[in-house]
Amino acid sequence: MNKRIGWLGGLLVAQLLIVAGLLVGSVTGSDAGAERFLAFDPAAVTKFTVAEADEAVLLLREGDGDAAVWRLQGGLPADGGKMNELLDKFADMAAPWPVATSSDSAERFEVTESTHQRRLTLENDDGVLADFFLGTSPGYRRVHARATGEDEIYSLDFSNYEAPTDADQWLDKTLLASVGEPSSIVLDGAWRLARNEGQWLIEEMAADAGDAPADSEAADKLAGRFEDLRVLGTVSDAAAEGDEEADEDPATSLFIVADDQGEHRLTLFHDEDEDEYSITSNRIDGRFELAAYIAEQMLVDAAELQAKEAEDDAGDEADSAAEDAAAPEVADAPVAEQAG
């Protein structure tokens, strides 16, 4: 009897160990130790294409190591951080087991040559490093995927929106930002703001009164707007060509900004009918959409940049001048009357 009890006890312990192992496996994740969906070195990728139907975006990497930069086809700078994050994600993406292998399933999950929601191709100078299709979604933040030339279809931890085919989604939105903090900003015909020995000075061009102390908080805020300048996207060629006489358009404003790379010119356009703003730079070709609230924060009046004390002094001088102008002239009394 005792031997039988001991044997049953040992069996129970073995069963508990098996259950514990299964629980540990479920906690660490079903992808633990799984093979990778793709085998490539992110640092080796120099060309990236994402396509759907008749739309496609091509990004090219220039340079090596820390000096490498990503650009959109045509030369505009791309968001390198977003691009590198995507490549790292695919390089580490686990594919524990296929969910299907048949051609019928490939059609149903939209991962075929003729039917797919995304096709991503990674290349270097020697050829293709990876080429695969993304299709339907089996669940939240999951997508069916199949590498070209393979039958296996996987469910990956990814969403198609993470690989957009709209070039503006890959654009470096900070491409017009100043390099470092601006040392001077000029709104042509209105005012000039400049830093002198750590102090901001404001000159109102119309008043021709010379430099005056600026409100440091207002000046820092304005400088930060140029240092952190972000655009929304590109303006279509048709829209830009619709303003052929932009230099003569009264709804334009010219900024001259000095930063760590010298002076650059930013021209701000305002479509008054649509109340939309766009902007160009002499450093980068193209015109870009700008949020209205950002444009309005750039188009400040000189009075908003003046130090409060300077504003008060100017107000007092104006009041005094007004009083002098309003005071009646008193003629000198005749000598006889004074004596009388």
Contact predicate 244/178, CB 8 Å: no
Q: What is the pTM of this model?
A: 0.78
pLDDT of residue 322: 54
pLDDT of residue 335: 43
Looking at the structure, do residues 225 and 113 belong to the same domain, yes or no? no
Looking at the structure, do residues 315 and 193 belong to the same domain, yes or no? yes
pLDDT, tens digit (0-9, with 9 covering 90-100), for 110-129: 999 999 999 999 999 999 99
Residue 204 belongs to some domain of the structure:
yes
Residue 226 belongs to some domain of the structure:
yes
Looking at the structure, do residues 150 and 198 belong to the same domain, yes or no? no
Looking at the structure, do residues 119 and 232 belong to the same domain, yes or no? no
Structural domain containing residue 104? 42-169
In the numeric block, which tokens belong to residue 229?
Answer: 């300048």
Helix (H) or strand (E) holding 253: strand 252-259
Identify how many contiguous H helices and E strands the chain contains and give both numbers.
Answer: 9, 16
**Kind of pairing, strands 233-234 and 69-72?**
unpaired
- Regarding predicted confidence, which is higher, 64 or 171? 171
Average pLDDT of 60-71?
92
Instruction: Give the range among 171-185, 214-228, 243-257 with minimum mean pLDDT.
Output: 243-257
The chain-wide mean pLDDT, for the chain, equals: 84
In the numeric block, which tokens belong to residue 67?
Answer: 């000096």
- Regarding predicted confidence, which is higher, 296 or 312? 296
pLDDT, tens digit (0-9, with 9 covering 90-100), for 32-57: 456 889 999 999 999 999 999 889 99
Looking at the structure, do residues 233 and 313 belong to the same domain, yes or no? yes
- Phi and psi of 54, rounded to 5°? -100, 10
Q: Is the dihedral of CA 149, 150, 151, 152 positive or negative?
A: negative
DSSP states of 89-115: HHHT-B--S-SB-SHHHHHHTTBSSSS
Residue 276 belongs to some domain of the structure:
yes
Amino acid at 275: D
Q: Would you give the distance in Å from CA 116 to the centre of its chain?
A: 28
Q: How confident is the model at residue 238 (pLDDT cuts 50, 70, 90)?
A: low
Among candidates 217, 222, 220, 204, which has minimal Cα distance to 314? 204
Residue 52 belongs to some domain of the structure:
yes
Spatial strand order of the sheet with 55-62 comes to 69-72, 55-62, 47-52, 118-124, 127-134, 143-147, 154-156
Statement: residue 326 has pLDDT above 60: no
Q: Which residues of 270-306 are buried (b: 16+ CB within 10 A; e: fewer)?
A: beeeeebbbbbbeeeebbbbbeeebbeebebebeebb
**Kind of pairing, strands 199-204 and 211-213?**
antiparallel
- Regarding predicted confidence, which is higher, 120 or 16? 120
Domain count, the chain: 2
pLDDT, tens digit (0-9, with 9 covering 90-100), for 266-275: 999 999 999 9
Statement: residue 149 has pLDDT above 60: yes
Residue 82 belongs to some domain of the structure:
yes
Average pLDDT of 90-95?
93
Looking at the structure, do residues 228 and 159 belong to the same domain, yes or no? no
pLDDT of residue 264: 97
Looking at the structure, do residues 144 and 199 belong to the same domain, yes or no? no
The domain boundary residue, chosen from 105, 134, 169: 169
Looking at the structure, do residues 205 and 155 belong to the same domain, yes or no? no
